[in-house]
Structure 1
Amino acid sequence: MRKLDHIAIFVDELDAGIAFYRGLLGGEPVIAVVPELGITCAFFVAGDGPAIELVTFSGKGELNHGDVVIAIEVVDLDRAIGEYRALGMKVYDQVPTENLPLRRGWITKKGGHGTIIELCQAGEIARFIESKRAGTHA
């Protein structure tokens, strides 16, 4: 079973993005700083729906302001990566890091018809956000 986990949007200025989405969605975001990947994330979570994540990226790459990541929750990450690869898609396997202890799969903009696709293990993003909200490490 696969379903939408969250949507991430790349922004040039995180504070401006937070102000905009706070006005649009209400509430306060959960912030995660991941220096080893050059990203800072702000997660807006409302009710039972998917989170909206704002991301700033300080590295070099194909990511631009307004780019969107569609994160798909999968029951078995290894199986999903294998299935997508069997369909001819180039899927990157990202290992957990110190500040983002989640293994994920990635399909780049080039391979994802202009959209970045993230594959994440069922429940892990929600647990990570909650651990940040609680001030604990996931």
Structure 2
Amino acid sequence: MTGQLDHIGIFVESLEKAIPFYQTVIGQGAPVIKEVPELGLRLAFFHRQGGLPVELVEASGKSEMRHGDVVVALEVDDLEAEIARLKAAGIKAYHQKPTKNLPLHRGWITKGDGHGTIVELCPKGEVERFVLGGAR
């Protein structure tokens, strides 16, 4: 693991209601919107505000995440090695394979296993490439 934050995600009830608030708070224009219907997600990324990207997440599908939950996304150099390291330490870490509209292979520690915090493991640079239009 690189030990650095990749981004934070905030679960909201409605992107349409939340975006104006976060535009004002962050002081940035319109976010990059991504639709992921196969996972029941709509995402809004405030990408360049002088700090870490902020992702708003609207979930309509089945999820343990609720309005107000925060995802701490950590950057990893090698996702497979990091998941193996965490499992060896007794931490339940899971793979999330890419989907058609979310072409990122990521890892997760769920809210239940993460002491109330959702931890996302992101291969270095992948979220940025996805947001800017070209995840590999």
Q: Provide the TM-score with structure 1 as the length reference.
A: 0.92
| CA 17–118 in structure 1, closer or farther in 2 if over 3 Å, else same | same
> What amino acid is aligned across from residue 69 of structure 2 in structure 1?
D
Distance in 2 (alpha carbons) for counterparts of 1:125 and 1:90: 22
Deviation at 1:90, TM superposition (A): 1.0
Superposition RMSD in Å: 1.3
Q: Which runs of 5+ in 2 are unaligned?
A: none
Q: Which runs of 5+ in 1 are unaligned?
A: none
Q: Deviations over 1:42-70 (max 9, x none)?
A: 00012552100000001123211000000
Q: Deviations over 1:91-133 (max 9, x none)?
A: 11000001000000010011111010000100000111111xx
Give the match for residue 63 of structure 1.
65
> Is the contact between residue 38 and residue 99 of structure 2 (CA under 8 Å) also seen in structure 1?
yes
- Percent identity of the aligned residues? 53
> Is the contact between residue 11 and residue 65 of structure 1 (CA under 8 Å) also seen in structure 2?
yes
Q: Does 1:98 align with 2:100?
A: yes
Deviation at 1:28, TM superposition (A): 1.3
Q: Does 1:4 align with 2:15?
A: no
Deviation above 4 Å: which 4+ runs of structure 1? none
- Provide the secondary structure at the position in 1 that maps to 2:90: coil
Note the 1:80-99 alignment, pairs <5 A: 80-99=82-101
Q: How many residues align?
A: 134
Give the match for residue 131 of structure 2.
129
Q: Does 1:110 align with 2:112?
A: yes
> Is the contact between residue 126 and residue 135 of structure 2 (CA under 8 Å) also seen in structure 1?
no
